[in-house]
Amino acid sequence: MLGLVLTTLRHRKAGFAGAFLALLCAAALVCACGVLLDTGLRGSVAPERYAGAPVLVSGDQYVRQTTVKRKKGKVKTKRKAKAIAERAWLPASVADRVRGVPGVRTVVTEVTFPAEIPGAGREGRESWGHGWESAAFTPFTLASGRAPAAGDEIVIDARTARAAHLRTGSRTSVASSEPGAYRVVGVTRQAPRHQAAIFFSTARAARLAGRPGMVSAIGVSPASAADAVRAALRGTGATVHTGDGRGRAEFLGAESARIKLISMGGALGGTALLVAVLVVAGTFALSIQQRGRELALLRAVAATPRQIRAMIGREALLVGAAGGALGALAGLPLAFWLRDRFRGLGALPPNLDLVVGPFPVAAAAAATVAAAWAAARVSARRTSRIRPVEALGDAALRPARLPTVRVLAGLGCLGGAAALTAVLASLHTEAASSPVTMLTAIVWTVAVALLGPAVARAAAALLAVPLRAAPVGGHLAAANLRTGARRLASVITPLTLMTGLTATILFGQTTMGHAATEQAADGTLAAHVLGPKVPAGTAERVRSAPGVTAATEVLRSTVRVGLENYGVQGVTPEGLSRTMDLGVRSGSLAGLDSGTAAVSETAAGRLDVRPGDRLRLTLGDGTPFAPRVVAVYARGLGFGDLTVSHGVLAAHVDDPRGLLLVAGTAPRSVLTGASGPGAAPLAPSAVAEAKAAANADVNYVAMGLIIAFTAIAVVNTLAMATSDRAREFALLRLVGTTRRQLFRMLGLETLAVVLVAAVLGTAIAAATLCAFASGMTGGLPHVPPAAYLAVVASAAALALLATFLPARLALRPPPATTINTRE
């Protein structure tokens, strides 16, 4: 049996090349997703500025929830934790407690706040301000100058000095919560790679941090005191870090990025595997269909169904092993390419490196081999079960009816897709709806693939009339489509998958972005919008400017209700009705103050609250807050799920700078002059557009790989189907068909295939997107016509390219030579 398998592979290299390429791409895609997932699970961040503190004490960066369930006399306790969005601070009294722990020699506290020097941010590093006493964390030492003493003195790190062209004695402006001019009195020897450090005097740092009596971190030495410190702080809410744990406390964005990688790697990997199975199954089905005569001959010479299935299974194992191994190795550089793209988009911090272990490679190779074997066995099921006496006749004339099992499976998938569509319409959060959206589109496509021959016959019957209107090429195309329903179905499926997935991914993002920006634009009544980082005190100066009737400060963050994440905005209530219209449906924003909140309709439905109810939540820095709901509003996509007082939110975020909405007729020169650094005129929907664009770019990069894989499958399948028709082309040439007529026939066939696939893919995307839009926006999907035409045109271009190139190669030898070679 093995010899027969190897002989088949050797003499049918072209037939198995398509399956090999599909498996290789599938393995690469699954491996890359596995590396992302593994990085999210095991990735770590080395400390940089905290490298000199053997033990680090910080606030708890998680919201924790304990659930106790009693079932059949047993008690089950589940503990879950979710990261908060901002830095958790500690009372300064915690440092006093640490100083009293036996064995502790040194205790250093610090405060952290946003501070940037203009011109120093070109390298993309975060920039933070600190008091000079925390320089011992690294430790920072001075290359020149001295420590800051007066309020207008700073010390900067060496990389910042080079980037901003500063040295000891220079004067520069610093953008922070209170922007001002400072004199550089020192430059450090150290140059942190991933963050800029600006050191102020202790008194000025405490003032700029704006949290009296609080510290952001405590450094402790020696390392041997870690256990004693941990025991002394038990029950205080403080957490103790050593080793790489200090890096997670230092770079909060890295920890949230790890969590995103887990969800993204899992969702992308699962979607990639489903698409891969569908594509590989279609490729093997076409390959076995092309070998119908060969397999039928084996049955005619007494090969048993079990032997046929075993032979095809072993062929798949060999091809899958080769494609899976090479593809899994190719997935490693693909994972690094993804890392670079995500870093460029700001979704992945530069100091979180990929974890490259053996598990993703082995898992990708194993999954690919399993997919190949399963796809081949399923595709060979019908061919292996026919009776020997019918074998050759069956190979020459395909039956018109689909097997009952396949019809039932297709109808089952149609029912499952309809159920998923209904579920999707009831989901109101992007985190919940995104994976269901992709799964819905894929299940619809699986149903089309299973019922493909029936769909192809119906399409061929409909297209026969317009095709026959053309001369010889049209008649030939109509006849080929009618008699080659199985081949037509095999090429329609990948084209439908590509069109449906591309439209779903692309227009799902445009739907969300359009709804958010439209709500933000409609709800912004202010004549001017300044941002994105307007310093404290600017609002008061703008309010006193001539012609200004109201100025509303707007700050964005996220909070947790239980363990669920919700977007929140903080606004100054005074004059809010002249700058912002949230579309209030019940209650009134007139009662918005430091103890109340307004909730969007979507969030109110999920949380089951209405005006007058008490809502318990956790602010971004971990502080509990229980406001009373005073209003429910409609424009949640444009302005956030929750709205609270600006003063409440500003006291619990890392960066209290935000937008400023200005109503009135004040000249722009007055506004820009009063706003200072960090503020510039913006469009009303600029923030919503920027957020939507950032989310869309990350999703486009991630899901674009699946679309690229599907496009390769389209080219692969069409090329295989066209190459197998060399004998047919030669026969047509012998009976007098010209090359022009033959290529016209192929062009009409391909356009017919593209038309059918475009209709099916559009129907799949429309059903999925309408359900998605109904749940997320309450309206219809937003589909730019030019983008839709580009999707269809791309599919048509790929199909024509994959058809005409193999056809030219097949027609290169003389007709007689071609027939003799094949016979």
Among the listed residues 699, 728, 773, the one whose alpha carbon sits nearest the alpha carbon of residue 271: 699
**Residue 544: pLDDT band with limits 50, 70, 90:** confident
Does position 280 have pLDDT exceeding 80, yes or no? no
Phi, psi (degrees; rounded to nearest 5) at 212 = -60, 140
346-355, 473-482, 690-699: least confidently modelled range: 690-699
The pLDDT mean for the chain works out to 84
- Residue found by looking up tokens 């033959």 in the block: 742
Among the listed residues 650, 623, 654, the one whose alpha carbon sits nearest the alpha carbon of residue 63: 623
Q: What Cα–Cα distance (Å) separates residue 594 from each residue in 514, 572, 608, 692? A: 32, 10, 22, 29
- Residues 6+ away with beta carbon under 8 Å from 457: 400, 482, 485
- For residue 2, what pLDDT is reported? 60
What three-state secondary structure class fits 412? helix
- Measured between alpha carbons, how far is 106 from 323 in angstroms, rounded to an integer? 58
More confident residue, 644 or 704: 644
In the chain, % of residues over pLDDT 70: 89
Summarize pLDDT for 470-485 with one digit per residue, the tens: 777 677 777 777 766 6
390 secondary structure, DSSP code: G
- Measured between alpha carbons, how far is 377 from 353 in angstroms, rounded to an integer? 40
**Residue 4: pLDDT band with limits 50, 70, 90:** low
What three-state secondary structure class fits 384? helix
220-224, 351-355, 379-383: least confidently modelled range: 379-383
**Residue 138: pLDDT band with limits 50, 70, 90:** confident
More confident residue, 517 or 122: 517
Domain residues of the chain, as ranges?
1-44+262-397, 55-254, 399-519+689-823, 525-683
Among the listed residues 794, 816, 803, the one whose alpha carbon sits nearest the alpha carbon of residue 742: 803
Does position 210 have pLDDT exceeding 50, yes or no? yes
Summarize pLDDT for 750-778 with one digit per residue, the tens: 888 889 899 999 999 999 999 999 988 88
CB 410 within 8 A of CB 447: yes
Q: What Cα–Cα distance (Å) separates residue 220 from each residue in 108, 201, 415, 808? A: 7, 21, 62, 74
CB 239 within 8 A of CB 64: no
Between β-strands 564-571 and 642-645, what pairing exists: parallel, antiparallel or unpaired? parallel
Does position 822 have pLDDT exceeding 60, yes or no? no
As a whole number of Å, the end-to-end CA separation of the chain is 25
Sign of CA dihedral 602, 605, 611, 612: negative
263-277, 407-421, 559-573, 587-601: least confidently modelled range: 263-277
Does position 684 have pLDDT exceeding 80, yes or no? no
- Residue 70 pairs in a beta bridge with 75
- For residue 630, what pLDDT is reported? 96
- pTM for the model stands at 0.82
Among the listed residues 470, 532, 25, the one whose alpha carbon sits nearest the alpha carbon of residue 280: 25
- For residue 539, what pLDDT is reported? 86
Please count the residues of the chain: 823
More confident residue, 594 or 805: 594
Mean pLDDT of 394-417: 75
3-class secondary structure for 601-629? HHHHHHHCCCCCCECCEECCCCCEECCEE
403 secondary structure, DSSP code: P
- Residue found by looking up tokens 């005619």 in the block: 300
Summarize pLDDT for 28-73 with one digit per residue, the tens: 988 998 898 898 888 888 899 899 999 999 999 999 888 888 777 7
233 secondary structure, DSSP code: T
- For residue 507, what pLDDT is reported? 92
